[in-house]
Amino acid sequence: MVPMTRYDVAVIGAGPAGLAAALAADKEGASVLLIEREARLGGILKQCIHDGFGLVRFGEKLSGPEYAERFISQLPGSGVAVSTLSFVSGIERVGESCYITLITREGIKRVQTHSLVLATGCRERTSRQIGVHGHHCAGVFTAGSAQYYTNILGKLPTRRCVILGSGDIGLIMARRLTLEGAEVVGVYEAKPTPSGLTRNISQCLNDFDIPLHTSKTVTRVFGDQRLAAVEISDVDERMRPIPGTETIVECDALILSVGLIPENELAETLHVPIDPKTKGAIVDENNHSLIDGVFACGNALHVNDLVDYVSESGETAGRAAAKRPVTERDLAGIACNSSLLYVVPQRVDKNAANAERTFYFRSSCDMDDATLTVLKDGQTLHTKYYAHLRPPEMEHLRLTLTIDALDGSSPLLFHLEGTKHAQ
Amino acid sequence: MRSNDTIKESESLRGAVREVVCIVCPNGCRIECTPGRDGYTFAGNKCKRGAEYAKAELTRPMRTLTSSVLTVFPDAPVVSVRTNGEIEKATIPDVLKELKRVTVDRRIQIGDIVIENVCGTGVNIVCTTDRLVNPY
């Protein structure tokens, strides 16, 4: 007989979102189990040894492990039960309960909970997902893997590398590898503009004279056992390689920073509806998914650029997950047109009208003097001005919606207008 | 395509006028810095902090350095460290050399000093992880 333990709330994943969710649910008086696959808590923060974390939340520029420790150190004084080296092999939702099967060092365990918080983070896009062709050889890493080798194992994975993609982790790794003595030949970005934060372009690339090449991509890799060179091509405005522009760059590693995708394997087994724009769960303002009792937060919900907002998102989910009994929801839709990449949450509860809610969004392109308009049936409810909007930099809007604004079946529409950057 | 080289070239063609992209806040102002007899004059910055940042960048740029140092412990072959204040950007190569000389042989924790007054900067190198002491 597999032993069954009961908790009010189970949180899956003990990165910044899960840690914040577990502590918030505990503060609300719920019994909480925090489940982590790895031996140590903190998630990706463990290997993010650069600083800049916590500026919004703590007013300090902390390193990743220091930021995580601010939360981990609260666990012993809380009632949160922690289960590390525990792998969730299955979840079932039956009636008002979730049944979780866990593989742990002590064997298989079963956990019954009222609420489930998915804080499973995100995964890096790999070379196979972006169509890099050529030889099968060692030396092609995601930026996160290169970061793990360098910062956790203390092994330098390259002497001379090319970085494809200008996402933040790629930029951070360009600096990190340079500091450790590797040569970063250049950062190549298929898009006409860099994907990372301006501060990272400035402090990771410009500080070390690492060139950034936009509208170029890696089209082939060469190498017998180990990578020996990559082929770089110019791309057109639709990011297709232009024949005849190929150049060969010798290197022993290709490091990929080509995007992050929310991890939703467990959400899918529960048939949690997913937003094709964020690739995370569709949620209301409490990060409550469309399945009652199942919550999602952090990078599993949508990929964030600042950990401070990941923690905030975890706390929102944790607080709401602790509430019993679950009150009936009457959800109104939130939509955006193509001027935005996405808006989160995608639903709001009509029963909680007149409460202030925070909406997170990204513009679909670089914009100056932008105005965000919230419309209902063609009528403007709210406008807010933003001096600059860039897709890599998430923005938020705090908004109080009246009962009238949420009435009816048509969604609230988010729309952006501004001066687009010439590219 | 603007590579770093082309940016540098256009700067030298315009004489000593330099552009600094401000990173103090997300506005990312492009600040044009023109040298004069009484120091630089700045244009394009929306606030005072931008001018201060640009001035520091052109005269004495400061950075927080984060890196790692070796340990003697197989369960954590490296620990992360950082300067507990800003150091001059120009001193970074010397500080890195100092970090390469260190091997941690005590189970230190967050905030513990690894190198005191590194390279005479007045700033300490401190540990930024509890991976040597915390079972979590």
Rounded CA-CA distance A71/A340 in Å is 33
Output the pTM of the full model.
Answer: 0.92
Residue among B22, B128, B132 with most chain A CBs within 10 A, to mutate: B128
H-helix or E-strand spanning residue A32: strand A32-35
CB contact under 8 Å between A82 and B28, yes or no, is: no
Residue at token pair 């923060």: A45
Joined together, the tokens standing for residue A40 give 């140590």
Residue at token pair 């604004």: A405
The answer to whether the CB of A86 falls within 8 A of the CB of B101 is no
* Mean pLDDT estimate for chain A: 93
Rounded CA-CA distance B67/A398 in Å is 37
pLDDT for A388 equals 84
CB contact under 8 Å between A211 and B3, yes or no, is: yes
DSSP A231-286: EEEEB-TTS-B-TT--EEEE-SEEEE---EEE--HHHHHTT--B-TTTSSB-B-TT
Which residues contact residue A412 at a Cβ distance below 8 angstroms, ignoring those fewer than 6 apart?
A332, A333, A334, A335, A348, A374, A375, A376, A381, A401, A405, A406
Which residues contact residue A118 at a Cβ distance below 8 angstroms, ignoring those fewer than 6 apart?
A12, A13, A264, A266, A267, A272, A281, A294, A295, A296, A297, A300
Interface of A with B in 371-390 (CB under 8 A): 387-388, 390
Contacts of B47 in chain A (CB under 8 A): none
H helices of A28-85, in order, are 64-72
- Tell me which residues of chain A have a pLDDT lower than 70: 1, 422-423
The answer to whether the CB of A257 falls within 8 A of the CB of A163 is yes
CB contact under 8 Å between B66 and A152, yes or no, is: no
Question: CA dihedral in degrees (B67, B72, B74, B76; nearest 10)?
Answer: -30
Rounded CA-CA distance A111/A394 in Å is 36
- DSSP E strands in chain B: the ranges are 18-21, 30-36, 39-43, 62-63, 66-71, 78-83, 87-88, 103-104, 113-115, 125-127
- Classify residue A275 as left (phi > 0), alpha (psi -120 to 50) or beta: beta
- Classify residue A44 as left (phi > 0), alpha (psi -120 to 50) or beta: alpha
In this complex, which of B4, B21, B67 lies closest to A179 when CB atoms are compared?
B67
Q: What is the DSSP letter of A205?
A: I
Interface of A with B in 51-70 (CB under 8 A): 51, 61-63, 65-66, 69
Joined together, the tokens standing for residue A34 give 């925090």
Rounded CA-CA distance B69/A90 in Å is 40
The answer to whether the CB of A115 falls within 8 A of the CB of A7 is no
Q: Are strands A160-164 and A183-189 parallel, antiparallel or unpaired?
A: parallel
Residue at token pair 């409550």: A288
H-helix or E-strand spanning residue A110: strand A107-118
Does residue B121 sit at the A interface (CB-CB below 8 Å)? no
Residue B7 has pLDDT above 60, yes or no: no
> Which chain A residue lies closest to B61 (C-alpha atoms)?
A207
Mean of the pLDDT values across residues B112-118?
98
Please choose, from the candidates A275, A412, A288, the residue with its C-alpha nearest in 3D space to the C-alpha of residue A342. Answer: A275
Rounded CA-CA distance A296/A263 in Å is 11
Residue among A50, A175, A200, A210 with most chain B CBs within 10 A, to mutate: A50
Which residues contact residue B45 at a Cβ distance below 8 angstroms, ignoring those fewer than 6 apart?
B22, B29, B31, B51, B54
pLDDT for B4 equals 45
Rounded CA-CA distance A365/A339 in Å is 8
pLDDT for A128 equals 77
∠ CA A230-A231-A233, rounded to 5°? 140
Name the pLDDT band for B136 (thresholds 50, 70, 90).
low
Rounded CA-CA distance A74/A138 in Å is 41
Q: Is A391 helix (H, G, I), strand (E, B) or coil?
A: coil
Buried b (16+ CB within 10 A) or exposed e, A227-238: bbbbbbbbbeee
Contacts of B128 in chain A (CB under 8 A): 49, 62-63, 65-66
Residue B13 has pLDDT above 70, yes or no: no
Rounded CA-CA distance A105/A125 in Å is 31
Please choose, from the candidates A12, A15, A2, the residue with its C-alpha nearest in 3D space to the C-alpha of residue A48. Answer: A15
- Classify residue A358 as left (phi > 0), alpha (psi -120 to 50) or beta: beta
pLDDT for A318 equals 98
Q: What amino acid is encoded at A120 in this protein?
A: T
Does residue B58 sit at the A interface (CB-CB below 8 Å)? no
Please choose, from the candidates B80, B97, B71, B95, the residue with its C-alpha nearest in 3D space to the C-alpha of residue A64. Answer: B80
Rounded CA-CA distance A316/A326 in Å is 15
Residue among B47, B58, B136 with most chain A CBs within 10 A, to mutate: B136
